[in-house]
Structure 1
């Protein structure tokens, strides 16, 4: 099961996906000769004047608990121990291309949408192939869904990026499970004694 590094591992996997896909789809683009995929925070975005052209910004405006599973049961691990329930979270991403021209910007918006729709599921092998090593179990995967960005997200982006308010792409990694390290203490079953006596004769 995925540990607490799951959020950063998913972000790293998306970064690698766009790195690889650009090299495959655009071996010789006439305008964008290279694309740097960069994971950023809001405070990095605020200083966007220093961001170089030919960059795809990968920004996480929020991470929210996934409430679709209301009755979360304790997790029984293969070692026989029981742990507190998994916590599923939704990781919301905004992808912002920073390119030399409006035409290139619009072209790459379409490419970002197409890439995400072509890769709706990230396998555990791909997720674990990054910087953070084995984070997900062999039977785990992460589903990436396109979403209509909530207005508060774009308002927040505008507040920190007024100098460059360009269209971006919004998507969400649904129900990424964070496993618990807290074990549920179990106690041996109550012993039952048989107090029956022999029948008197």
Structure 2
């Protein structure tokens, strides 16, 4: 399982995937940035923003055992989370904004699985955030109208066309060893004395 640095590493890796595959002749000035709510008040001129708007416990695999650490001790269970991103294209014209959105959605659909080596390459400053056998799956997941309005609350009245994605099963491992006790062999009961009232 990954360390706590997995959350920023996933966002940076998604942006790197888009930036590396960007068709430069058409989108020469495009920038690729992680956004927080305040960035929507003064957005970039052209490019793609990725806004992490929700993190939830992953419901697919909650009872994974902890892994063995370097000293052979089993760690506490990992915390599996799903990361919800809002991908927003920015451009001076609606047509270019729509083209950016269509291209970015196609790229993410073509590369739904991010490998540990790719994720670790963009984890800063750590480069060993994910174990070699780990992957993160990125899936398009539309928002309801109400959820979309809630996400865009900081950016009113300039709501932009966007697509929402979820990065599934990002496991954040614990560094704390889980104390293991031996099996119970005997049971000693000490019944209390009944007193009268």
Which of the five TM-score ranges fits, normalised by the shorter chain? 0.7 to 0.9
Per-residue deviation, 1:187: 5.1
Cα RMSD (Å) of the superposition? 2.0
C-alpha distance in 1 between matches for 2:20 and 2:51: 19
- Per-residue Cα deviation, 1:120-158 (whole angstroms, up to 9, x for no partner): 100111101112321001111111111112334311233
C-alpha distance in 2 between matches for 1:27 and 1:44: 24
Match in the other structure for 1:62: 54
Match in the other structure for 1:193: none
State the aligned residue count. Answer: 183
> What runs of 5+ residues in structure 1 fail to find an aligned partner?
191-201
Alignment counterpart, residue 150 of structure 2, candidates 137, 143, 156: 156
Q: In the alignment, is residue 166 of structure 1 matched against residue 163 of structure 2?
A: no
Further displaced range: 180-189 or 32-41: 180-189
Please tell me whether the aligned partners of residues 78 and 171 of structure 2 are also in contact (alpha carbons under 8 angstroms): yes
Q: Secondary structure at the match of 1:56?
A: strand
C-alpha distance in 1 between matches for 2:44 and 2:59: 39
C-alpha distance in 2 between matches for 1:107 and 1:9: 27
Match in the other structure for 1:33: 28
Please tell me whether the aligned partners of residues 112 and 169 of structure 1 are also in contact (alpha carbons under 8 angstroms): no
Match in the other structure for 1:82: 74
Please tell me whether the aligned partners of residues 78 and 173 of structure 2 are also in contact (alpha carbons under 8 angstroms): yes
Match in the other structure for 2:170: 176
Further displaced range: 106-115 or 62-71: 62-71
| Superposition TM-score, scaled by structure 1 size | 0.83
Map residues 122-137 of structure 1 onto 2, 5 A cutoff: 122-130=114-122, 131-132=124-125, 133-137=127-131
C-alpha distance in 1 between matches for 2:179 and 2:21: 47
- Per-residue Cα deviation, 1:50-108 (whole angstroms, up to 9, x for no partner): 22311211101100001222434343346421111111100001111110111111111
Please tell me whether the aligned partners of residues 62 and 80 of structure 2 are also in contact (alpha carbons under 8 angstroms): no
Question: Which structure would you say has the larger Rg?
Answer: 1
Q: Secondary structure at the match of 2:21?
A: helix
Please tell me whether the aligned partners of residues 142 and 174 of structure 1 are also in contact (alpha carbons under 8 angstroms): yes
Alignment counterpart, residue 43 of structure 2, candidates 48, 51, 64: 51
